[in-house]
Chain A
Amino acid sequence: MTELPTASGTAALGAAVATCPRCGSTNAAVARFCEECGTQLTPVDGVAAETGPAAGLESPITVSARTTPAPPRERAQLPAAAPPEASALETDLDTDDTVVIARPCANCGGVVGSDGYCQTCGTKAPTGRDHYTEQPSTWVAACCDKGIRHFRNEDATAVASDPGRGGRAVLVVCDGVSTSVDSDVASLAAARAAREVLVAHRPAGMGVAASRAAATASAVQAAAAQANAAVVETTAPGSENAASCTFAAAVIDGGQIVFGNVGDSRVYWLPDIGTAAQPAELSLDDSVAQARIAMGVSREEAENGPQAHAITKWLGRDSPDFVPRIGSIEVSDPGWLLVCSDGLWNYVSEATAMQSLVATLSGANPDPLPLSVSLVGWANEQGGKDNISVALARYEP
């Protein structure tokens, strides 16, 4: 968020701490792994530049507000390895911000023990993995939450964006399959791997919209493959219950949206109410419910029927097919690009209903972070039966 202390007011996006999404500890921006729990952290620009095939043509975009040490243009000129000012920042952070403060128990205010439970009331302290938000810029944000009924957050989000509105943004949501082992680890690894691919593969200097869309579409496919590899890595070969998760990604660049999905996490385009455009569910679920809808069963009946949540495609070691269904649209009206898990859409499936919910919760506020948090809060109020992921980008032509 822009509240983080920074060297200059407008360089807020260059704030240089990384909050570990698993345990909530504060790490130096350049840290690739959490000091506290070893979770792999959001890659810094240096990493993205390394993986970019041709740095000259494809300039990496800002990965995350909290992890980006300098504005993008300067970075593009830097060598691919860790920039010198990043190490200077790291030194500063060591003395200032890296002190881990024991958080009091959310239930009673008591001291949380090293075993993760309150020493007074025994309530399990939520981990950074249970609930976290991301905001790489003022127009892109995500909120990921355990929900109420589940004991673990097996959802994951990963977002990235250019600092300026109307630029390029990447939204990824992966929903771990709860019957598989370590699906919380797998989904986070998958979402981040996909984001890394989509951040690195930036088509630049290409002429027509169609060719740009095609290039991004192949990047989405590569992102799904990389995400699948990350999930596969989570479980050993021969595992009877291999980790698995869904995949939904959307890239918005100007008015062009390219999206892809595997499983039942969704991508919605929600133009503001009052504009001429219609809201749309862009993705198509790979689920039993969707198959029944295709056979003529009503959406309401299918989505509440037997095995409604059984998915027919997923990422993971035992995945028969992880090639995403990909599409693209051009938009010209102001609105919200939303990528979410079924923890949200279970309560509001139709695109028009989603549009009104978003309108109600956002008011006229174009800031995506409070909206993502409100959507998660709203889903929890409806019962919070599943983990909830919401990733948003605000588009204003």
Chain B
Amino acid sequence: MAEFNAAVYQNEFLPDGGTDVNAIVTISCSGAGTAGQTGSGDAGEIIIVDTSGSMGRIKLEAAKAAAAAAVDQILDGTWFSIVAGTHQAYLAYPPVRTGTGMARMDARTRYEARQAISLFRSDGGTAMGTWLTLAGRLFDSVPELAQRHAILLTDGENHNESANQLTAAIRGVTGKFQCDCRGVGVDWQVAEVRRIAQALLGTVDIIPSPNQMGAVFAELMQQAMSRGVADAQLRVWAPQGAQVMFVRQVSPTVEDLTGRRVEVNPLTGGYPTGSWGDESRDYHVSVRLSPKAIGQEQLAARVQLALGDQVVAQGLVKAKWSDDDQLTTRINPAVAHYTGQTELAQAIQDGLAAKAAGDQETATVKLGRAVQLAAQTGNDEATAKLRKVVDIDDEETGTVRLKRAVDKADEMALDTASTKTTRVRG
């Protein structure tokens, strides 16, 4: 049985008239078990592979190997399908046209799925919205599924759909399944694919070279199989009259959840967190209160994790008004760290967007700020990736120059990794 714990890091003390309470709530899960094996319902996995014409022979062969490697990681008993995507979506396995669109994994279906994958041909365009819609319908065809996860591989831009069509497709499947997205090569759009991954509570990353695909897919599927807790909801209670300024996941990646609130009751909002393995995630919650008199104490938020209707962990965020400057001026290191990391993610994305738009001045300022923040918050991975895009004159002041020649893959890697955070240094 999975166990959850919540720990709160904050400065509870507010000065006279102070209103804003910030806290980092770490939620940890242990004993999660294996997907679909905990008795709480079956797990389903769909592998979606781009088979558009642009894949060509080399990328397609690598994609076939990767899909097969992922199939090998799916545990027996798990429901699964293989989808081939072009400007349309095709159900490559199981070979059915109606009824249940997924098969249970066993030795026979594994063999048949690998055969189906080997028959992929590279042809046609790209319409990722149709792939997502088909995956949603396939999951829907198996009512006993409690946990639904997909891996999506693409290599190019979404040429055969308008942005609106993709948005509508994403909206249609949001909350139905989680999706980890990977782009191979450098011809795909990070922002476009990130949009899918964020809505579907998944990750986005670049696979610069086709020969890395197999390992990436196998690892993704292993991870998915190790998430024994099918679905959990983060709940934030705030007192009457208070305003929840934002709710963000800040570790392992920055994901703003504020806009994804569903009402649990008038004072409590629910935010999706998807499935959990043995892991811990950090959330930054910011609440604005009406100020109280010095010496008053009140609860600013109850931050809970719920499985269905059951609350399995709770952290209390408090506010105490004090006239002791030594207490009220302290900044909690966890709050400071993640505030910096969130700004870092934004600075990288804004800087790269400005660079792509030809606005060198803004790009230099933003990426300079990113270099500064990465140094301050000890995010060495971000610093290393930034170094491939800018020449750093002074880390402390954030003085940088844009590199003349930048490897596109390095720039995309910086972009996809922008939301990855480091933990507070001890």
Contact = CB atoms under 8 A, between A and B. Distances in A.
Contacts of B237: 119
B239 interface: yes
A108 B242 CA distance: 14
B294 A123 contact: no
B299 interface: yes
Interface in A111-134: 113, 115, 117-124
A123 B298 contact: yes
Chain A CB within 10 Å — which of B238, B300, B302 has the most?
A: B302
B55 to A, nearest CB: 55
B298 A150 contact: no
Contact of A117 (B289, B293, B316, B323): B316
Contacts of A384: 295
A151 B297 contact: yes
A119 B237 CA distance: 9
A149 B294 contact: yes
Contact of A115 (B295, B297, B298, B316): B316
B239 A120 contact: yes
Contact of B239 (A115, A121, A148, A151): A121
Nearest to B293: A148
A121 B295 contact: no
Contacts of A151: 295, 297, 320
B220 interface: no
A147 interface: yes
Given A115-B316, A117-B316, A120-B240, A150 B299 contact: no
B302 A121 contact: no
B294 A122 contact: no
Interface in A139-193: 147-151
B267 interface: yes
B133 to A, nearest CB: 42
B241 interface: yes
A111 B409 CA distance: 57
Nearest to A148: B295
Contacts of B242: 122
A117 B298 contact: yes
B240 A121 contact: yes
A119 to B, nearest CB: 8
A122 B295 contact: no
Contacts of B296: 123
A150 B324 CA distance: 11
B302 A124 contact: no
B300 A122 contact: yes
Contacts of B323: 149
Nearest to B300: A122
B212 to A, nearest CB: 49
Contacts of B320: 151
A154 to B, nearest CB: 14
Given A115-B302, A149-B323, A151-B320, A124 B241 contact: no
A149 B320 CA distance: 10
Contacts, number: 49
Contacts of A108: 240
Contacts of B293: 148
A120 B239 CA distance: 6
Contacts of A117: 298-299, 302, 316
A121 B294 contact: no
A147 B316 CA distance: 24
Interface string B277-312: 000000000000100011111111010000000000
B298 A121 contact: yes
Contact of A150 (B241, B289, B295, B302): B295
Contacts of A149: 294-295, 323
Nearest to B320: A151
A260 to B, nearest CB: 32
Contacts of A120: 239-240, 267
A124 B297 contact: yes
Contacts of B295: 147-151, 384
A384 B295 CA distance: 9
B314 to A, nearest CB: 8
A41 B285 CA distance: 40
A121 B302 CA distance: 12
Contacts of B299: 115, 117-118, 122-124
A202 B242 CA distance: 57
A122 B290 CA distance: 11
B71 to A, nearest CB: 47
A120 B298 CA distance: 11
Contacts of A115: 299, 302, 314, 316
A150 B241 CA distance: 25
Interface string B42-53: 000000000000
Nearest to A123: B298
A117 B267 CA distance: 14
A120 B237 CA distance: 9
Nearest to B323: A149
A148 B297 contact: no
B338 to A, nearest CB: 24
Contacts of B314: 115
A115 B267 CA distance: 16
Interface in B312-338: 314, 316, 320, 323
Contacts of B300: 122
Contacts of A150: 295
B245 to A, nearest CB: 16
Interface in A66-123: 108, 113, 115, 117-123
Nearest to B239: A122
A397 B163 CA distance: 94
Interface in A377-394: 384
A120 B242 CA distance: 10
Nearest to A147: B295
A148 B314 CA distance: 29
A110 to B, nearest CB: 8
Contact of B241 (A118, A121, A148): A121
A111 to B, nearest CB: 12
A144 B240 CA distance: 31
A117 B239 CA distance: 10
B366 to A, nearest CB: 39
A214 B316 CA distance: 54
Interface string A324-353: 000000000000000000000000000000
B323 to A, nearest CB: 7
B298 A124 contact: yes
A230 to B, nearest CB: 28
B310 to A, nearest CB: 15
A124 B317 CA distance: 12
Given A118-B298, A121-B241, A122-B300, 4 more contacts: A118-B239, A119-B237, A123-B298, A148-B295
29 contacts: A115-B299, A115-B302, A115-B316, A117-B298, A117-B302, A118-B239, A118-B298, A118-B299, A119-B267, A120-B240, A120-B267, A121-B239, A121-B298, A122-B238, A122-B289, A122-B299, A123-B239, A123-B299, A124-B297, A124-B298, A124-B299, A147-B295, A148-B293, A148-B294, A150-B295, A151-B295, A151-B297, A151-B320, A384-B295
Interface of A: 108, 113, 115, 117-124, 147-151, 384
Rank and list the top 7 A-B pairs by shortest CB-CB distance, nearest first: A122-B239, A122-B299, A117-B299, A149-B295, A124-B297, A122-B298, A148-B295
